Structure 1
Amino acid sequence: MTIAKFQGGDAVTMSSREIAELTEKRHDHVKRDIENMLAELKKDIPSFGGIYLDSMNREQIEYHLDRELTETLITGYSIPLRHKVIRRLHDLEEKASRPMTQAEITAANANHLVAVERQQREQQVALERIETRVANVEQVRYLDSRPAGFESMTTIRERINLRHGIPPWVINAVMRDIPGAPLPFAMVRSNHADDGAQPYAIWPKADITRRFDRFVTECTLVTAERATHPDIQQGRFKLRQRTSA
């Protein structure tokens, strides 16, 4: 566990991953508890978020809470679990209040260097992804009409919403923002180009169906119709599990 500044202060924080480890709960369940708590407290949930790389080098979300929020979170947990977390908080605060040894300073500097190098690597990956998308977009073909088996973004939103109940803003993120976002197959010229209408992008319907069916399997259901996904940082969204087209 690292001792990190919290919203500009010097308070000790505890990550959702460490809380999960101490309480022997699943990390996604602890994150769900944190999201529910922050929502009840009318806190800005994304401001407590952080990114870490899992065992498959994928970006995942965790939360960082100060002492007050950590104790609020574990109020509903059993006494032994609360005791473990509070004892760990005391240990962290004791370490933070005393001067660091030379060995701890060296370890802290090493951790900082690792974090900087990881951030630089993530930025490079993101830059390469953007450059690849730009290069591919430059090669997009233009068509005079939409072929059979292809659909526009408007059609995708309507169809995927009916298929899975996913709201438009999540569909937009899956199509444009998160890793693996599909590139358009082509741009179709509008029949009303003379009136200033712009060309629109189209995607293969079968590919989009597979894309969202896979996305649904990657989601974690919080309630019967609410879910989270590691790449959707805005929190929970509506999801209805169904298999029909």
Structure 2
Amino acid sequence: MTIAKFQGGDAVTMSSREIAELTGKRHFHVTTDIEKMLAELKEDATGFRAIYLDSMNREQTEYLLDREHTDCLLTGYSAAMRMVVIRRWRELEEQAARPMTQAEITAANANHLVAVERQQREQQVALDRIERRVEDLSQTTVWDHCPQNCQSLTRIKETMLARHGLSGAVVDYVLKAWPNQPNPAGMVRNGHEEALGSQYLVWSKSHVTAAFHRFVSESTMVTTTQATHPYFEGRFRLVQKAQS
């Protein structure tokens, strides 16, 4: 919803998804433009960020902009794109300016309730994911030594830095937060005396290779060394000098 009205308050915003639809740009290109704009304005992007569930029930990020920030974003777009969005904004403002009928108030309250329920579902999905992760970890195999076909997080970071120039933060995301993350193969007991019996996760080399191959193939190069990914927030370094 780009107009959110309900008893006790109202707000008029335009989502990055609607901007993408109106301008014909890909959504993650629009979100990248918004993040760059907010960074230049020295404004906190989290204040504009919202979460929604896509058709596959996966959490995705969008941005909700007011008229002022939408106008600022459009300065970098073509005249044709600007005109489409300007006309849509006029429609939104006209709808927001006239008094709401009782039927519209009822519908708006219902939409607000749906939005609240959606947010609760999103939170439950995130909690379920964490619970499954904890359960999976509790059932993993524990080895005294790392198997030859597995790698630790430290080793994976070294490999992906050398292979694709990926930072440790991106590797952490792919292994721990990405919807298509590879499952850990098990855990290894740390043999160092000072480790006090602690354990560390290891992943199958083949699963790691396949996961990063997919992540890289889904990424879009913005410059010769900077890329974006639909699920990763912001740009990251990517050098495709070797195939995984």
Length-normalised TM-score, structure 1:
0.86
User: Does residue 1:109 correspond to 2:134, yes or no?
Assistant: no
> Superposition pairs for residues 147-158 of structure 1, below 5 Å?
147-158=147-158
Alignment-derived partner of residue 62 in structure 2: 62
> Superposition pairs for residues 30-179 of structure 1, below 5 Å?
30-179=30-179
- Give the distance between the partners of 2:140 and 2:78, measured in 1 at CA: 58
Instruction: Identify if the C-alpha distance between structure 1 residues 10 and 223 changes in structure 2 by more than 3 Å, giving closer, same or farther.
Output: farther
Match of 2:214, as an amino acid?
Answer: R
- Give the distance between the partners of 1:227 and 1:185, measured in 2 at CA: 29
CA RMSD for the aligned pairs? 2.4
Instruction: Identify if the C-alpha distance between structure 1 residues 241 and 117 changes in structure 2 by more than 3 Å, giving closer, same or farther.
Output: same
**1:10, CA displacement in angstroms?**
5.7
Query: Is the Cα contact below 8 Å between 1:152 and 1:202 reproduced in 2?
Result: yes
Alignment-derived partner of residue 239 in structure 1: 238
Query: Is the Cα contact below 8 Å between 1:61 and 1:230 reproduced in 2?
Result: no
User: Match of 1:76, SS?
Assistant: coil
The more displaced of 162-171 and 223-232 is: 223-232
Instruction: Identify if the C-alpha distance between structure 1 residues 181 and 80 changes in structure 2 by more than 3 Å, giving closer, same or farther.
Output: closer
Gap runs ≥5 in structure 1? none
User: Match of 2:139, SS?
Assistant: coil
- 1:148-172 Cα offsets, whole Å, 9 max, x none, are 1211110011101111211101111
Query: Is the Cα contact below 8 Å between 1:50 and 1:62 reproduced in 2?
Result: yes
Kindly tell me the number of residue pairs found equivalent between the two proteins. Answer: 241
Length-normalised TM-score, structure 2:
0.87
Identity of aligned residues (%): 59
Instruction: Identify if the C-alpha distance between structure 1 residues 160 and 105 changes in structure 2 by more than 3 Å, giving closer, same or farther.
Output: same
Query: Is the Cα contact below 8 Å between 1:190 and 1:197 reproduced in 2?
Result: yes
- 1:154-206 Cα offsets, whole Å, 9 max, x none, are 00111011112111011112212232433322222222236636322211111
Alignment-derived partner of residue 218 in structure 1: 218
Instruction: Identify if the C-alpha distance between structure 1 residues 180 and 26 changes in structure 2 by more than 3 Å, giving closer, same or farther.
Output: closer
Query: Is the Cα contact below 8 Å between 2:15 and 2:62 reproduced in 1?
Result: yes
- Give the distance between the partners of 2:130 and 2:33, measured in 1 at CA: 35
- 1:99-134 Cα offsets, whole Å, 9 max, x none, are 211222122122223223322322232222222222
User: Match of 1:64, SS?
Assistant: strand
- Give the distance between the partners of 1:25 and 1:202, measured in 2 at CA: 40
Query: Is the Cα contact below 8 Å between 1:151 and 1:203 reproduced in 2?
Result: yes
Match of 2:77, as an amino acid?
Answer: Y
**1:209, CA displacement in angstroms?**
0.8
Query: Is the Cα contact below 8 Å between 1:133 and 1:183 reproduced in 2?
Result: no
Instruction: Identify if the C-alpha distance between structure 1 residues 129 and 58 changes in structure 2 by more than 3 Å, giving closer, same or farther.
Output: closer
- Give the distance between the partners of 1:195 and 1:112, measured in 2 at CA: 51
Instruction: Identify if the C-alpha distance between structure 1 residues 194 and 158 changes in structure 2 by more than 3 Å, giving closer, same or farther.
Output: closer
> Superposition pairs for residues 192-231 of structure 1, below 5 Å?
192-193=192-193, 196=196, 198-231=198-231
